[in-house]
Amino acid sequence: MMSSALLALHPLAAIVWAGGVSFAHIGPTMSSVLLALHTLAAIVWVGGMFFAHMALRLAVVPMAPKDRLELWGRVFPRFFPWVWLAVAVLLGSGWALVLTVHGGMAGAGLHIHLMNGLGTLMMALFVLLFFGPYARLRRALAKGDLPRAAAAQGWIRRIVLVNLSLGLFVSALAAGGRYWG
Protein backbone atom coordinates (compact mmCIF):
# COMPACT_ATOMS: atom_id res chain seq x y z
CA MET A 1 0.00 0.00 0.00
CA MET A 2 2.69 2.41 1.16
CA SER A 3 5.12 1.37 -1.59
CA SER A 4 2.48 1.70 -4.34
CA ALA A 5 1.65 5.20 -3.06
CA LEU A 6 5.38 6.08 -3.16
CA LEU A 7 5.68 4.62 -6.69
CA ALA A 8 2.73 6.72 -7.82
CA LEU A 9 4.31 9.85 -6.30
CA HIS A 10 7.74 9.16 -7.82
CA PRO A 11 7.09 10.34 -11.42
CA LEU A 12 5.28 13.39 -10.06
CA ALA A 13 8.27 14.22 -7.85
CA ALA A 14 10.62 13.76 -10.82
CA ILE A 15 8.56 16.14 -12.99
CA VAL A 16 8.40 18.75 -10.23
CA TRP A 17 12.15 18.37 -9.57
CA ALA A 18 12.95 18.91 -13.24
CA GLY A 19 10.71 21.97 -13.38
CA GLY A 20 8.31 20.37 -15.85
CA VAL A 21 5.22 21.52 -13.96
CA SER A 22 4.22 25.07 -14.67
CA PHE A 23 2.81 26.82 -11.62
CA ALA A 24 1.02 30.15 -11.99
CA HIS A 25 3.27 33.10 -11.23
CA ILE A 26 2.22 34.36 -7.82
CA GLY A 27 3.49 37.92 -8.03
CA PRO A 28 5.92 39.90 -5.86
CA THR A 29 3.55 40.43 -2.90
CA MET A 30 2.85 36.72 -2.41
CA SER A 31 6.53 35.85 -2.97
CA SER A 32 7.60 38.36 -0.32
CA VAL A 33 5.01 36.98 2.14
CA LEU A 34 6.33 33.45 1.53
CA LEU A 35 9.95 34.55 1.97
CA ALA A 36 9.04 36.51 5.14
CA LEU A 37 7.29 33.44 6.64
CA HIS A 38 10.24 31.26 5.61
CA THR A 39 12.75 33.61 7.28
CA LEU A 40 10.64 33.98 10.46
CA ALA A 41 10.41 30.19 10.78
CA ALA A 42 14.21 29.93 10.42
CA ILE A 43 14.70 32.64 13.08
CA VAL A 44 12.34 30.89 15.55
CA TRP A 45 13.99 27.47 15.13
CA VAL A 46 17.68 28.44 14.80
CA GLY A 47 17.42 31.35 17.28
CA GLY A 48 15.68 29.08 19.81
CA MET A 49 18.47 26.50 19.52
CA PHE A 50 21.10 29.25 19.87
CA PHE A 51 19.49 30.52 23.09
CA ALA A 52 19.07 26.99 24.50
CA HIS A 53 22.63 25.90 23.70
CA MET A 54 24.61 29.10 24.25
CA ALA A 55 22.73 30.65 27.20
CA LEU A 56 20.29 28.36 29.04
CA ARG A 57 22.54 25.25 28.96
CA LEU A 58 25.41 27.18 30.61
CA ALA A 59 23.13 29.04 33.05
CA VAL A 60 21.72 25.79 34.53
CA VAL A 61 25.13 24.13 35.13
CA PRO A 62 25.26 25.13 38.87
CA MET A 63 21.79 23.62 39.52
CA ALA A 64 21.33 20.20 41.17
CA PRO A 65 20.97 17.47 38.46
CA LYS A 66 17.33 16.75 39.44
CA ASP A 67 16.30 20.43 39.19
CA ARG A 68 18.28 20.89 35.97
CA LEU A 69 16.74 17.87 34.23
CA GLU A 70 13.25 18.80 35.41
CA LEU A 71 13.77 22.32 34.06
CA TRP A 72 14.68 20.90 30.61
CA GLY A 73 11.59 18.69 30.96
CA ARG A 74 9.49 21.86 31.25
CA VAL A 75 11.41 23.86 28.58
CA PHE A 76 11.23 21.32 25.71
CA PRO A 77 7.41 20.88 25.64
CA ARG A 78 7.16 24.66 25.28
CA PHE A 79 9.76 24.95 22.50
CA PHE A 80 9.22 21.80 20.40
CA PRO A 81 5.67 22.64 19.17
CA TRP A 82 7.20 25.83 17.69
CA VAL A 83 9.88 23.70 16.01
CA TRP A 84 7.19 21.45 14.43
CA LEU A 85 5.43 24.61 13.18
CA ALA A 86 8.74 26.03 11.88
CA VAL A 87 9.47 22.75 10.03
CA ALA A 88 6.03 22.83 8.36
CA VAL A 89 6.38 26.53 7.39
CA LEU A 90 9.98 26.08 6.11
CA LEU A 91 8.97 23.12 3.93
CA GLY A 92 5.71 24.68 2.69
CA SER A 93 7.09 28.16 1.96
CA GLY A 94 10.45 26.84 0.68
CA TRP A 95 8.89 24.48 -1.87
CA ALA A 96 6.23 27.08 -2.82
CA LEU A 97 9.05 29.54 -3.61
CA VAL A 98 10.99 26.91 -5.59
CA LEU A 99 7.94 25.97 -7.68
CA THR A 100 6.61 29.47 -8.31
CA VAL A 101 9.63 31.81 -8.32
CA HIS A 102 12.33 29.43 -9.59
CA GLY A 103 10.19 27.19 -11.84
CA GLY A 104 11.25 23.95 -10.10
CA MET A 105 14.53 22.65 -8.70
CA ALA A 106 16.16 22.62 -12.15
CA GLY A 107 15.97 26.41 -12.20
CA ALA A 108 17.10 26.88 -8.59
CA GLY A 109 20.62 27.99 -7.64
CA LEU A 110 23.20 25.83 -5.84
CA HIS A 111 22.42 27.58 -2.52
CA ILE A 112 18.78 26.39 -2.76
CA HIS A 113 19.86 22.79 -3.48
CA LEU A 114 22.22 22.94 -0.47
CA MET A 115 19.49 24.53 1.69
CA ASN A 116 17.02 21.84 0.70
CA GLY A 117 19.49 19.00 1.40
CA LEU A 118 20.86 20.35 4.68
CA GLY A 119 17.43 21.63 5.78
CA THR A 120 15.93 18.17 5.22
CA LEU A 121 18.81 16.65 7.22
CA MET A 122 18.05 19.08 10.10
CA MET A 123 14.38 18.08 10.01
CA ALA A 124 15.27 14.37 10.05
CA LEU A 125 17.57 14.96 13.05
CA PHE A 126 14.77 16.81 14.85
CA VAL A 127 12.31 13.95 14.23
CA LEU A 128 14.97 11.53 15.54
CA LEU A 129 15.51 13.71 18.63
CA PHE A 130 11.77 14.04 19.29
CA PHE A 131 10.88 10.35 19.09
CA GLY A 132 14.23 9.08 20.50
CA PRO A 133 16.02 10.89 23.34
CA TYR A 134 13.18 13.34 24.09
CA ALA A 135 10.65 10.50 24.53
CA ARG A 136 13.25 8.69 26.73
CA LEU A 137 13.80 11.88 28.78
CA ARG A 138 10.05 12.24 29.45
CA ARG A 139 9.70 8.56 30.44
CA ALA A 140 12.78 8.71 32.71
CA LEU A 141 11.60 11.92 34.42
CA ALA A 142 8.14 10.43 34.99
CA LYS A 143 9.81 7.45 36.77
CA GLY A 144 12.33 9.67 38.61
CA ASP A 145 15.18 7.76 36.87
CA LEU A 146 17.83 10.51 36.86
CA PRO A 147 20.75 8.57 35.25
CA ARG A 148 18.56 7.64 32.24
CA ALA A 149 17.18 11.19 32.07
CA ALA A 150 20.74 12.58 32.09
CA ALA A 151 21.81 10.18 29.30
CA ALA A 152 18.79 11.18 27.16
CA GLN A 153 19.49 14.87 27.82
CA GLY A 154 23.10 14.31 26.70
CA TRP A 155 21.87 13.01 23.32
CA ILE A 156 19.46 15.94 22.96
CA ARG A 157 22.35 18.35 23.61
CA ARG A 158 24.54 16.65 20.95
CA ILE A 159 21.79 16.65 18.30
CA VAL A 160 20.89 20.29 19.06
CA LEU A 161 24.58 21.26 18.66
CA VAL A 162 24.69 19.58 15.22
CA ASN A 163 21.39 21.17 14.18
CA LEU A 164 22.41 24.59 15.49
CA SER A 165 25.66 24.45 13.48
CA LEU A 166 23.78 23.31 10.36
CA GLY A 167 21.06 25.94 10.91
CA LEU A 168 23.54 28.83 11.18
CA PHE A 169 25.41 27.58 8.09
CA VAL A 170 22.19 27.08 6.06
CA SER A 171 20.89 30.53 7.03
CA ALA A 172 24.17 32.21 6.03
CA LEU A 173 24.36 30.45 2.67
CA ALA A 174 20.62 30.96 2.04
CA ALA A 175 20.84 34.71 2.63
CA GLY A 176 24.07 35.23 0.63
CA GLY A 177 23.72 32.49 -2.01
CA ARG A 178 21.78 34.56 -4.56
CA TYR A 179 24.91 36.72 -5.08
CA TRP A 180 27.14 33.77 -5.96
CA GLY A 181 26.61 34.52 -9.65
Q: Per rule CB under 6 A, is residue 160 in the interface with ligand HEM? A: no
Distances, alpha carbon 47 to alpha carbons 50, 63, 173, 180, in Å: 5, 24, 16, 25
89, 112, 140, 149: which one contacts ligand HEM (CB under 6 A)?
A: 112
| Least gap, CB of 68 to ligand HEM (angstroms) | 28
Burial call 16-49: b when 16+ CB within 10 Å, e when fewer: beebeeeeeeeeeeebeebeebbeebbebbbebb
Q: Per rule CB under 6 A, is residue 173 in the interface with ligand HEM? A: no
Q: Per rule CB under 6 A, is residue 122 in the interface with ligand HEM? A: yes
Choose one: 18-26, 36-44, 47-55, 125-133; the region binding ligand HEM (CB under 6 A). 36-44
Choose one: 10-18, 63-71, 72-80, 115-123; the region binding ligand HEM (CB under 6 A). 115-123
Q: Please report which helix (H) or strand (E) contains residue 110, including its range.
A: helix 110-129
CA distance 103 to 90: 18
Distances, alpha carbon 20 to alpha carbons 75, 95, 109, in Å: 45, 15, 17
Residues numbered 37 to 96 that lie near ligand HEM (CB under 6 A) are 38-39, 42, 46, 90-91, 94-95
Q: Per rule CB under 6 A, is residue 25 in the interface with ligand HEM? A: no
Q: What does the binding site for ligand HEM look like in residue numbers (CB under 6 A)?
A: 35, 38-39, 42, 46, 90-91, 94-95, 97-98, 112, 115-116, 119, 122, 167, 170-171, 174-175, 177-178
